[in-house]
Each structure stands twice: as C-alpha cells, then as structure tokens.
C-alpha cells in the first residue's frame, strides 16, 4: 500500500566518490524508493549524525551513498505482507536494518550478533534522506511521550552503549569502577548515564571543560583529561592502584585502544565499541602486550594470561534492550544531550565529527 502524495524525488545527504577529500553533499534529485515485500517507507522527521557516519565519506566501497542510522519518522507506505497496523505509526530506523532470524544468535534473541545482518547506511541507504526504507520486522516503535529528537540518538548511540554496558557482566558488579574512554561524545555521554544507572562508579575519560561538565552531569564520579593527565596513573590513583574493573572504549583512535588494557585491573573486562581504522590490529598477545613503538605500549603494561583479562566486542544492543532504553527515556531516567540543527548543516556536522569537536549528539531536522 502506498499513498499518492509521496514524491518521486527527494532531498538527501549524498556521498560522491568517498575518500579523504570527500565532502557530504545535499542534493534534491535523489529518487524515493518503493517498499518491497516486508518493507515500510518512513517519512523522516529527524536523524542523528554519528561519528561512524564519517566512514561512509572516508572509506570507498564499504558503505552506501546515503549515511545515517538513527532516524525517526512516520510510516507512510507498506510493502506487501506488512500489517496495516504500522501505517501512520512513528518508528525508528536503526543500525540493525534486519537479521536472518534463523542463525543461533537470532534464535537466542541476539539478533544484534547475526552474521547475516544488514545495516542502515552500510547495506541500505541511510536515514539522512526524506524517505527511508525499513524492514517491517526491525523498525522500532517510538512510544508516545518520547520526543523524536530524543529518540533518534537512542537508536544508535544509546543502544550501542546499552549493549556495551550489558557486556560488563557478570564479572563487573554494581559499585565497581568502570572507565568510559570517549565519555563526552555522542555515544560516550549516554554510556556514562547508563552505567551510572546500573550502579557503576564511572570514570569518564575525554578532554576539555565542556566534556568534563557533561560527563559529570551524566553521573561520572571523576573525569580524566587525556590531554592534560597521565591517564593510566590517574585511573590507578582513583581505584586504589589496581585500575578499573571494566573499561568501555568508545573512542576509535589507535592510542585509545592501545592504552585501554592498561587501565584495567586483573580479571577485569574490556568492551570494544569504537571503530579504529580497519588497518589497525589490536596489539595484545596471549603472553604480554609488547612494545609497538608508535602505538605507545610498554612491555610491562599487562600480562594477558596472568591477569585474566576478558575482552568483548559490542556494536549495538538487542531489540529487547532498545525497548528497555526507550522506557527509561519515557520515565526521564535517560536523557541524551541533543542539539537540533537544519538538514543543510549535515556536512558541517560531519566535518566536526571528523575533528572530534562534537559534545553530546547533534540531530538534524529532515525537511
């Protein structure tokens, strides 16, 4: 089913010839796609812009021409086989566009770890356009009472960190120290809030007075400025010399990943979230973390086997965690710091994200 008021072309953020010098374009001649079987067409109200959207612009051949993966809008058309109940509903289109439903991960309710998953902005055009295709079974119903501009960043930034915080258990318990590396950014500041709600004592790691202020507002008990302090020593000083019980690395820099294991005490948990360059290999050997020159790791920094360090990866959370997160937002327990901009500002926002200049999350109104 499709209404007759849907145009054939639309305004969208467009990537032409991705690479180091590519700049996001705003174009008005992009075709509106029609929903196939099992799909819905969503007229976007707003979309968050994530640091990982920079990869669309920078990495040729790996992502689609339209970035974005945290959009909220109204279902305006249905493909065949989709329940009429979805028409007119406000939904979110998130990073997990769909999953196979048949693999062992999906059958355990862990569709976020499906090996055959498709992702918004990676396999299908993203949410920085007026009309977005979504999989009817994987769009997220947005509850009344949660504003669209608040819900949008929860679809990626919030869900990514809800998933990451859940990976701390069972080793890390309420009252334990958790360091969040990249705490003042779009994902990190929500992670600080989620971890604090779960009873962890959060040490926020980032740089600048603005990000320190935001991190403490979100519940961090301490802030370490990596540009001014010896991060490893500062974390140890805050944790009786042993290091944090858990570390969530939201930052995607090589230095952040190289340094993170040094922040963790024996039997601690390291959760990897941020996306470093795909050429970067995590420098951990089973015996020790050796000296890697420019990667700034010392040979005495950690003993992986002796310490019992647990390393887990987390790109996003599950549908169940998504619903739980929106309920927390409805109750006012999770409130991301959001600034709303015009759609035309999208290229500038993406450039700011490249330079790590964004505090909190920037959301654009889709025209």
CA pair distance 337, 334, nearest whole angstrom: 10
Q: Is the previous residue joined to 170 through a cis bond, with omega within 30 degrees of 0? A: yes
pLDDT score, position 296: 34
* Average pLDDT estimate for 238-266: 93
Average pLDDT, the chain: 91
Phi and psi based region of residue 2 (left: phi greater than 0; alpha: psi -120 to 50; beta: remaining): beta
Task: Point out which residues pair with 362 in neighbouring strands.
Answer: 49, 339
CA pair distance 256, 250, nearest whole angstrom: 9
CA pair distance 162, 317, nearest whole angstrom: 6
Beta strand extents in 64-162 (DSSP E only): 71-78, 90-93, 96-98, 118-119, 131-135, 140-141
- With a cut of 60, say whether residue 175 has pLDDT above it: yes
pLDDT digits (tens, 9 = 90+) for 86-135: 999 999 999 999 999 999 999 999 999 999 999 999 999 999 999 999 99
Question: Would you give the DSSP letter of residue 239?
Answer: T
Residue 168, C-beta contacts closer than 8 angstroms, at least 6 positions apart: 178, 195, 200, 246, 248, 269, 271
φ, ψ dihedrals at 124, nearest 5°: -130, 155
For 168-313, CATH gives: 3.40.50.720
Domain ranges of the chain: 9-155+317-365, 168-313
The reply to whether domains 9-155+317-365 and 168-313 share a CATH topology is no
pLDDT score, position 303: 52
Task: Point out which residues pair with 205 in neighbouring strands.
Answer: 181, 224
> Which of 124-133, 286-295, 327-336: highest mean pLDDT?
124-133
- With a cut of 70, say whether residue 269 has pLDDT above it: yes
* Average pLDDT estimate for 80-87: 96
Residue 314, SS3 per DSSP: coil
pLDDT digits (tens, 9 = 90+) for 191-248: 999 999 999 999 999 999 999 999 999 999 999 999 999 999 999 999 999 999 999 9
Residue 101, SS3 per DSSP: coil
pLDDT band at 299 (very low <50, low <70, confident <90, very high): very low
Contact call for residues 271 and 195 (beta carbons, < 8 A): no
Structure token digits, residue 151: 């819900």
pLDDT score, position 293: 30
CA pair distance 221, 209, nearest whole angstrom: 15
How is domain 9-155+317-365 classified at the CATH fold level?
Quinone Oxidoreductase; Chain A, domain 1 (3.90.180)
pLDDT band at 14 (very low <50, low <70, confident <90, very high): very high
């Amino acid at each position: 089913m499709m209404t007759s008021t849907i145009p054939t072309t639309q305004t969208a953020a467009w990537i032409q010839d991705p690479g180091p010098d590519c700049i996001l374009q705003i174009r008005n001649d992009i075709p509106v796609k029609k929903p196939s079987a099992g799909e819905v067409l969503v007229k976007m109200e707003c979309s968050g812009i994530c640091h990982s959207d920079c990869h669309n612009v920078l990495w040729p051949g790996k992502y689609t021409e339209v970035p974005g993966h945290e959009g909220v809008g109204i279902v305006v058309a249905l493909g065949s086989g989709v329940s009429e109940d979805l028409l007119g509903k406000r939904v979110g289109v998130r990073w997990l566009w769909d999953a196979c439903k048949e693999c062992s991960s999906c059958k355990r309710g862990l569709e976020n770890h499906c090996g055959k998953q498709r992702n918004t902005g990676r396999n299908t055009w993203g949410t920085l356009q007026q009309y977005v295709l979504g999989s009817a079974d994987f769009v997220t119903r947005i509850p009344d009472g949660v504003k669209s501009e608040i819900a949008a960043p929860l679809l990626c930034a919030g869900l990514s960190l809800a998933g990451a915080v859940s990976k701390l258990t069972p080793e890390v318990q309420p009252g334990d120290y958790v360091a969040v590396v990249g705490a003042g950014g779009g994902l990190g500041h929500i992670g600080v809030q989620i971890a604090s709600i779960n009873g962890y004592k959060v040490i926020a790691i980032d740089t600048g007075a603005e990000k320190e202020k935001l991190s403490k507002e979100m519940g961090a008990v301490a802030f370490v400025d990596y540009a001014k302090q010896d991060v490893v020593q500062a974390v140890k000083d805050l944790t009786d010399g042993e290091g944090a019980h858990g570390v969530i690395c939201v930052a995607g820099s090589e230095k952040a990943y190289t340094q993170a294991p040094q922040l963790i005490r024996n039997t601690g948990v390291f959760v990897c979230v941020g996306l470093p360059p795909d050429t970067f290999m995590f420098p951990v050997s089973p015996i020790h973390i050796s000296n890697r020159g420019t990667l700034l790791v010392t040979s005495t920094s950690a003993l992986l086997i002796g310490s019992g360090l647990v390393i887990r990866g987390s790109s996003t959370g599950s549908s169940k965690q998504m619903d739980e997160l929106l309920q927390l937002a409805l109750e006012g327990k999770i409130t991301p710091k959001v600034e709303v901009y015009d759609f035309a500002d999208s290229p500038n926002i993406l450039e700011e994200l490249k330079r790590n200049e964004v505090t909190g999350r920037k959301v654009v109104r889709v025209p």
